[in-house]
């Protein structure tokens, strides 16, 4: 649906030139909800603007629905843009138009008659759950309502793609999830392809099926959500995932707990991660039954990503070293990732290397 | 009542006709200048905004030229402008003296000021909204009419009202080229002939015109902002 090929964006000023996007290639399939995550300044907003050429790339090509946008005349490009909806962090509604007026804005100059436009506006506002706010002005709406109007407006020309530039970043958590819920429904109902730019991994975790992680203008990691979440390769990705799953905070709390200060030499602290079907098999029980290893669960968390459960536990394994090694091998055979957490007094270090 | 007027405004009573005429001259100059100058001012203001760096029709050459022209014309004191552009006035009106002739320098004096005001008013329109319009496939012309002018309307009315007040001030100098008006009444009659009551009345009428135009301006600003 969207194909970015070797996109480069360089901002030149008299003294400096800043390379905002460096050789990015991405491919977004039809019906995908594609998340692009990164800290501010990573170039993700610039990147998303190249998709509808609000930002012309210095080099590289943009294909949307098989059409190379970079070669189009201004007039043809404007027609293509009508098929690419976009919503923004600050909603960007027109203050002097009513809700209905805002939604009707992109419908002017189309073949629709006045009645058809009204019917379409009505239908769109119903879709986003704001039918009763038709005559209100944006200043009378809350942030979440404004974003719903913006979504209705972006969908007015029945686009196949919706670009979301930090669309939930100025909303509170509850409103954020209601907007994400709406986007998810639109994705299903209208087979809408959605690209989401965000600095919040929570958002990606909530609705995306694919994700790209950006840093310093480059995409450092991309793939489908579950595999990126369960086997992140880059440390930045791990950082994002840890903040989204709160495992770092949990580990810190657990590790500061006084009971951990006197582990015996047969005890070992570990974090284990398991994905999908493994979740349902009784791992802890079989460790005891097979190897006589007792597992003391200090912290546990299960996330459901794209209908795949992902479990994170922090545990203490107790047993002799040989038995423990056998147990680890058994876990590995069952596709469970185990990391031993080095723990010396109050020094906390999550061992990055997998022991097994 | 009539004795009060006779005591305190003896000269005003004598020249009632002349006062009414001066009011008409002033209003004529303000209205005609406002109509002509608003067309040029809005055109120039829009051009400045869209050709600016990062504007929707960025064009450095046009922007720099207009920017400098506006600055130069704004810097010329109006009383000198009256004399300076007399040849142009003669070319357009046929004479360089009189009320109609005063309109040419009034327009030349108002347009740079007004275009700068319009420019600032339109720059208040949120860039994000412009970007949103671009993302919806709006052409530059559509963005000018359906976004800049629509979204900027309250600000445009506000700066127009400021400009009218400024223009009323300029018309008082029209007397220098025989344009008449209330300023002329205050100076030529009131001051030169030492008829202070005439000056007072002329001032009062000018203040009333200013306040009324401000009131109308504020009313529409309120009515159009949401």
Interchain contact B133–A (C-beta under 8 A): yes
Q: What is the distance in angstroms between the Cα of A97 and the nearest Cα belonging to chain B?
A: 8
Q: According to the model, what pLDDT value does residue A22 have?
A: 92
Nearest to B147 among A80, A94, A153 (CB): A94
d(CA B98, CA B96): 7
User: Which residues fall within 8 angstroms of residue A167, CB to CB, at 6 or more apart?
Assistant: A87, A88, A89, A147, A150, A179, A196, A198
- A78 → closest Cβ in B137, B146, B153: B137
Average pLDDT, chain A: 86
B126 touches chain A (CB under 8 A): yes
Give yes or no for residue B226 having a pLDDT over 70: yes
Residues from chain B contacting residue A80 (CB–CB below 8 Å): 137
**A183 pLDDT more than 90:** yes
pLDDT at A342: 72
CA–CA separation, A331 vs B39, rounded Å? 80
CATH superfamily, with its number, for domain A2-233? P-loop containing nucleotide triphosphate hydrolases (3.40.50.300)
Query: So what's the pLDDT on residue B5?
Result: 79
If pLDDT is split at 50, 70 and 90, which confidence band does A349 have? very low
Angle at which helices A235-245 and A247-255 cross, to 10°:
80
Whether A62 shows a pLDDT value over 90: the answer reads yes
Neighbours of A246 (CB within 10 A): 14
On the question of pLDDT at A356 being above 80, the answer is no
Range of weakest confidence among A189-198, B1-10, B206-215? B1-10
More confident residue, B128 or A258: B128
Residue A128 predicted with pLDDT over 70: yes
Q: To the nearest whole angstrom, how far is the Cα of A94 from the nearest Cα of chain B?
A: 7
Tens-place pLDDT, residues B166-197: 999 999 999 889 888 999 999 998 999 999 99
Of the listed ranges A22-36, A102-116, A204-218, A326-340, the one predicted with least confidence: A326-340
Give the range among A128-132, A164-168, A234-238 with minimum mean pLDDT.
A234-238
Q: Chain B within 8 Å of A157 (Cβ-Cβ)?
A: yes
Over 70: is that where the pLDDT of B95 sits? yes
Task: Specify the DSSP class assigned to residue A229.
Answer: H
Q: How confident is the model at residue B122 (pLDDT cuts 50, 70, 90)?
A: very high
Q: Which residue of B has its CA nearest to A52?
A: B135
Summarize the confidence of residues B20-33 as an average pLDDT: 95
In the structure, what pLDDT confidence band is assigned to residue A165 with cuts at 50, 70 and 90?
very high
Question: Domain boundaries in chain B?
Answer: 2-224
Q: Is A76 on the interface with B (CB under 8 A)?
A: no
Of B128, B154, B224, the CB nearest to A92: B128
For the cut 90, the answer to whether the pLDDT of residue B103 exceeds it is: yes
A204-243 confidence digits (pLDDT tens): 988 999 999 999 999 999 999 888 887 788 888 888 887 7
Cβ contact, residue pair B137, A82, below 8 Å: yes
Contact call for residues A135 and A168 (beta carbons, < 8 A): no
- Cβ of B129 within 8 Å of Cβ of A94? The answer is yes
Neighbours of A64 (CB within 10 A): 22
> How many pairs of residues across A and B have Cβ atoms under 8 Å apart?
68
Contact between residue B161 and residue B216 where contact means Cβ atoms under 8 Å apart: yes
pLDDT at A262 (0 to 100): 67
SS3 for chain B, per residue? CHHHHHHHCHHHHHCHHHHHHHHHHHHHHHHHHHHHHHHHHHHHHHHHHHHCCCCCCCCHHHHHHHHHHHHHHHHCCHHHHHHHCHHHHHHHHCCCCCHHHHHHHHHHHHHHHHHHHHHHHHHCCCHHHHHHHHHCCCCHHHHHHHHHHHHCHHHHHHHHHHHHHHHHHHHCCHHHHCCCCHHHHHHHHHHCCCCHHHHHHHHHHHHHHHHHHHHHHHHHHHHHCC
CA distance B165 to chain A (A): 26
pLDDT of residue A241: 81
Contact (CB<8Å) A96/B153: yes
Q: DSSP per residue over A38-51, as a string?
A: --TTSSHHHHHHHH
Residues of B in contact with A162 (CB under 8 A): none
The number of angstroms, rounded, from the C-alpha of A69 to the middle of its chain's C-alpha atoms is 26
The candidate with the shortest Cα–Cα distance to A99, out of A152, A131, A137, A130, is A137
Query: For chain A, which residues make up each domain, given as ranges?
Result: 2-233, 246-349
Q: How confident is the model at residue A345 (pLDDT cuts 50, 70, 90)?
A: very low
Q: Give the model's pLDDT for residue A261.
A: 62
Fold of the domain built from segment(s) B2-224: MetI-like fold (1.10.3720)
Check A78 against B138: CB less than 8 A apart: yes
CA distances from A239 to A157, A168, A309 (A): 39, 21, 20
For chain B, say whether A97 makes contact (Cβ under 8 Å): yes
- What are the tokens at A267? 């005890």
Going by pLDDT thresholds of 50, 70 and 90, the confidence category of residue A343 is low
Q: In the prediction, which pLDDT does A352 show?
A: 47
**pTM, two decimal places:** 0.84
Separation in Å, CA of B84 to nearest CA in chain A: 40
Q: How far is A198 from chain B (nearest CA, A)?
A: 18
Domains A2-233 and A246-349 share a fold: no
Q: Does domain A246-349 have CATH number 3.30.70.260?
A: yes
CA separation for the pair B26, B174 (Å, rounded): 9
In the three-class reduction of DSSP (H, G, I as helix; E, B as strand; rest coil), residue A260 is classed as helix
Interchain CB distance below 8 Å, A92 and B126: yes
B166 touches chain A (CB under 8 A): no
**Mean pLDDT throughout A46-67?**
92
B12 Cα distance to chain centroid:
29
Is there a contact between A46 and A21 (Cβ–Cβ < 8 Å)?
yes
By three-state DSSP, how is residue A298 classified?
Answer: strand
The minimum CA-CA distance between A164 and chain B, rounded to whole Å, is 12
Contacts of B113 (CB under 8 A, 6+ apart): B41, B74, B163, B166
pLDDT per residue over A263-287, tens digit each? 777 888 888 888 776 655 677 888 8
Mean pLDDT of chain B: 93
- Residue A20 three-state SS: strand
- B120 pLDDT above the threshold of 70: yes
Contacts of B131 in chain A (CB under 8 A): 54, 88, 92
Q: Å from B53 to nearest chain A CA?
A: 12
Q: For B130, which residue in chain A has the nearest alpha carbon?
A: A92
pLDDT, tens only, B130-164: 999 999 999 999 999 999 999 999 999 999 999 99
Q: Name the helix (H) or strand (E) containing A183.
A: helix A173-189
Distance between CA atoms of residues B61 and B69, nearest Å: 12
What percent of chain B stands above pLDDT 90?
85
pLDDT at A148 over 90: yes
- For residue A146, what is the enclosing H or E element? helix A143-154
Q: Which residues pair with A311 in a beta bridge?
A: A274, A302
Question: Is 90 exceeded by the pLDDT of residue B57?
Answer: yes
């Amino acid at each position: 649906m969207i194909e970015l090929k070797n996109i480069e964006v360089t901002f030149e000023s008299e003294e400096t030139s800043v390379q905002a996007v460096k050789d990015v290639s991405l491919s977004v399939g039809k019906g995908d909800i594609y998340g692009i995550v990164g800290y501010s300044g990573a170039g993700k907003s610039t990147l998303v603007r190249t998709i509808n050429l609000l930002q012309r790339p210095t080099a590289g090509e943009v294909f949307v629905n098989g059409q190379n946008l970079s070669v189009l005349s201004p007039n043809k490009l404007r027609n293509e843009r009508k098929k690419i909806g976009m919503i923004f962090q600050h909603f960007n509604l027109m203050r002097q138009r009513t809700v209905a007026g805002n939604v009707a804005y992109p419908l002017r100059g189309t073949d629709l008659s006045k009645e058809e436009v009204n019917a379409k506006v009505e239908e769109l506002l119903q879709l986003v759950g704001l039918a009763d706010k038709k005559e209100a002005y944006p200043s009378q709406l809350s942030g979440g309502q404004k974003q719903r109007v913006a979504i209705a407006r972006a969908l007015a020309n029945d686009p196949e793609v919706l670009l979301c530039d930090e669309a939930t970043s100025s909303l509170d958590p509850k409103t954020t999830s209601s907007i994400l819920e709406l986007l998810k429904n639109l994705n299903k109902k209208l087979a809408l392809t959605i690209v989401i730019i965000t600095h919040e991994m929570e958002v990606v975790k909530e609705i995306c099926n694919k994700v790209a992680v950006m840093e310093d203008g480059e995409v450092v990691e991309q793939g489908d959500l579950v595999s990126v979440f369960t086997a992140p390769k880059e440390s930045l990705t791990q950082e994002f995932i840890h903040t989204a799953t709160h495992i770092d905070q949990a580990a810190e709390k657990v590790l500061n707990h006084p009971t951990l200060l006197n582990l015996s030499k047969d005890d070992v602290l570990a974090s284990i991660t398991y994905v999908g079907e493994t979740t349902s098999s009784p791992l802890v029980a079989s460790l005891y039954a097979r190897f006589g290893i007792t597992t003391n669960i200090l912290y546990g968390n299960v996330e459901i990503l794209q209908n795949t459960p992902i479990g994170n536990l922090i545990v203490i394994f107790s047993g002799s070293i040989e038995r423990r090694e056998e147990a680890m091998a058994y876990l590995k055979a069952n596709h469970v990732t185990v990391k031993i957490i080095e723990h010396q007094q109050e020094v906390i270090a999550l061992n990055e290397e997998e022991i097994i | 009542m009539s004795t009060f007027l006779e005591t305190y405004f003896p000269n005003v009573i004598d020249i009632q006709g002349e006062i009414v005429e001066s009011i008409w001259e002033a209003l004529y100059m303000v209205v005609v200048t406002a109509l002509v100058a608003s067309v040029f001012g809005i055109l120039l203001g829009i051009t400045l905004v869209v050709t600016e760096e990062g504007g929707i029709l960025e064009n450095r050459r046009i922007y720099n030229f207009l920017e400098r022209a506006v600055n130069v014309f704004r810097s010329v004191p109006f009383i000198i402008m009256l004399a300076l552009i007399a040849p142009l006035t003669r070319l357009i009106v046929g004479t360089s003296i009189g009320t109609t002739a005063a309109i040419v320098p009034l327009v030349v004096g108002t347009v740079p000021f007004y275009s700068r005001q319009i420019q600032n008013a339109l720059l208040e329109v949120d860039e994000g909204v412009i970007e949103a319009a671009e993302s919806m496939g709006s052409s530059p012309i559509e963005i000018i009419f359906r976004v800049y002018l629509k979204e900027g309307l309250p600000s445009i009315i506000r700066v127009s009202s400021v400009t009218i007040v400024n223009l009323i001030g300029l018309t008082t100098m029209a007397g220098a080229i025989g344009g008449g008006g209330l300023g002329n009444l205050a100076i030529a009659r009131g001051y030169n002939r030492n008829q202070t009551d005439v000056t007072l009345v002329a001032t009062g009428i000018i203040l009333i015109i200013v306040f009324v135009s401000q009131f109308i301006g504020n009313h529409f600003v309120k009515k159009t902002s949401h």
